[in-house]
Amino acid sequence: MVGKRALILLGPPGAGKGTQAKHLAQSFGVPHLSTGDMFRDAVSRGTELGKAVQPIMERGELVPDDLVMKLVEERLSRADCARGFVFDGFPRTLAQASQLDRILESRGFGKPLVIDFAVSEPVLLRRLSGRWTCSVGGEIYNIYDAAPKQPGICDFDGGKLVQRADDRPEVVRERLRAYERQTKPLTDYYRRQGVLEIVDGGAQMAEVSRALEEILNGARRS
Ligand SMILES: [Zn+2]
C-alpha cells in the first residue's frame, strides 16, 4: 500500500467487499479485519473484552460502540497492523468513524482511504435472494447465476436446497434499507474529508479488482 495506510471498504451485504478485502490484504501483506472476526477471536481467547462481548453475541444483540471501539483499539495496537490494514464493513456509524479517526491519529496514521462499493437494489436482490444452500453439504447456488441442474436439488449429493430466512426478498429489501439509513451519514462524513472513493460493486469481480487497483495507484501518486 502507500507506506502506512488504513483502508476501509464499505458496502451493503452482497456487495462483494469481503472477497476484495481479502485479496487486497493478501497482496499488501497486511491484516484483513472485520469486527465479527475480532469478536469471535476475543471470545475464543477468553480475554476480558471477549467475556464482556460473549453474552451480548449469544443474545443476538448489537455490541455497543464502547466495546467495539475497545476491541478495535486493542487489535490495531498489535504489531501486524503497524504498516496498515484493510477494514471490511467497519465503521458502521458516524460515532465509530470519528473515534476510529482518533485511534488512527494516535497510532501515527493519516486519514484512511475509504472505498464504497455501490450496488443497485435490483443487483443485490438478485445476488442475495437468489441464493439457495444445500441442506446436506452446504454448497451454495444462485438460482439466477449458478443454478443447480435440477431445481431445488444439489448437484453433488442430491440434498434439498433451502433459502436462509435472511435471504428472502422482503427481508433482503429491509436489510438494504436499514443499511442505507445507517451508512449514509458515514459516507457523507468521508466524502467531506475528501477520502471517499466509489467503485461499482455491481460489475464483474475482475472489473472491480481493476478499479480498486487504479484507485490505490492514484493514492500512491498523490
Ligand atoms: Zn449438497
Per-residue pLDDT tens over the stretch 40-98: 999 999 999 999 999 998 888 888 999 999 999 999 999 999 999 999 989 988 999 99
Residue 36: what pLDDT? Answer: 87
Q: How confident is the model at residue 221 (pLDDT cuts 50, 70, 90)?
A: low
Q: Which residues contact residue 207 at a Cβ distance below 8 angstroms, ignoring those fewer than 6 apart?
A: 200
Gap from CA of 34 to ligand 1 centroid (Å):
28
How does DSSP classify residue 108?
A: T
Mean pLDDT over residues 172-199, rounded? 92
Q: What phi, psi does 59 have (nearest 5°)? A: -80, -5
User: Is the predicted pLDDT of residue 172 greater than 70, yes or no?
Assistant: yes
β-pairing, 84-88 vs 140-142, is unpaired
**Catalytic amino acids?**
17, 92, 131, 164, 175
Gap from CA of 148 to ligand 1 centroid (Å):
10
Gap from CA of 137 to ligand 1 centroid (Å):
4
Residue 132, all three cell numbers: 439457495
The amino acid present at 146, given as its one-letter code, is A
Gap from CA of 203 to ligand 1 centroid (Å):
28
Gap from CA of 12 to ligand 1 centroid (Å):
28
Gap from CA of 128 to ligand 1 centroid (Å):
19
Q: What's the whole-number average pLDDT of the chain?
A: 91
Gap from CA of 135 to ligand 1 centroid (Å):
7
Q: How far apart are CA 39 and CA 37, in angstroms?
A: 5
CA geometry: angle 4, 92, 118, nearest 5 deg = 85
Instruction: Annotate 24-86 with DSSP letters as a single string.
Output: HHHHHT--EE-HHHHHHHHHHHT-HHHHHHHHHHHTTPPPPHHHHHHHHHHHHTSGGGTTEEE
Gap from CA of 153 to ligand 1 centroid (Å):
8
Q: How far apart are CA 119 and CA 102, in angstroms?
A: 30
Residue 3: what pLDDT? Answer: 67
Cis peptide upstream of residue 91 (ω within 30 degrees of 0):
yes
